[in-house]
Amino acid sequence: MADMKNTVPQEVEGKVALVTGAASGIGKAIASLLHARGAKVMAEDMNPAVEELARAGLVPLVADITEDGAAERAVALAIERFGRLDILVNNAGIIINKPVVEMTRQDWERIQAVNATAAFLHCREAVKAMMPNRSGAIVNIASYAAYFAFPTIAAYAASKGALAQLTRTLALEAIPHGIRVNAVGVGDVVTNILNEVVEDGPAFLAQHGQAAPIGRAARPEEIAEVVAFLASERASFMVGSVVMADGGMTVTAG
Ligand SMILES: NC(=O)c1ccc[n+]([C@@H]2O[C@H](COP(=O)([O-])OP(=O)(O)OC[C@H]3O[C@@H](n4cnc5c(N)ncnc54)[C@H](O)[C@@H]3O)[C@@H](O)[C@H]2O)c1
Looking at residue 200, its pLDDT comes to 96
For residue 236, how many other CB atoms are within 10 A of its CB? 12
Looking at residue 97, its pLDDT comes to 95
Report the residue among 189, 208, 242, 243 best suited for mutation to probe ligand 1: largest number of ligand atoms under 8 A from its CB. Answer: 189
Instruction: Please work out whether the CB of residue 66 comes within 6 Å of at least one atom of ligand 1.
Output: yes
* DSSP-derived pairing of the beta strands 242-245 and 58-62: unpaired
User: Which numbered atom of ligand 1 lies nearest the CA of 223?
Assistant: 10
Looking at residue 6, its pLDDT comes to 67
Indicate the Cα dihedral angle 243, 213, 215, 9, nearest 10°: -30
Query: What is the distance between the alpha carbons of residues 107 and 89, in angstroms, rounded to a whole number?
Result: 24
Instruction: Please work out whether the CB of residue 212 comes within 6 Å of at least one atom of ligand 1.
Output: no
CA separation (Å) from 25 to 31, 73, 152, 221, 228?
Answer: 10, 24, 23, 9, 15
Q: How confident is the model at residue 9 (pLDDT cuts 50, 70, 90)?
A: confident
Instruction: Please work out whether the CB of residue 47 comes within 6 Å of at least one atom of ligand 1.
Output: yes
Q: Cα 219 from chain centroid?
A: 15
Average pLDDT over residues 177-195: 98
Query: What is the distance between the alpha carbons of residues 150 and 158, in angstroms, rounded to a whole number?
Result: 12
Query: What is the distance between the alpha carbons of residues 123 and 140, in angstroms, rounded to a whole number?
Result: 9
Q: Write down the CATH number for the domain with range 12-245.
A: 3.40.50.720
In the annotation, is 147 catalytic?
no
For the chain, the domains span: 12-245
DSSP state of 79: H
What global pTM score does this model have? 0.97
pLDDT at 7 over 90: no
pLDDT at 12 over 70: yes
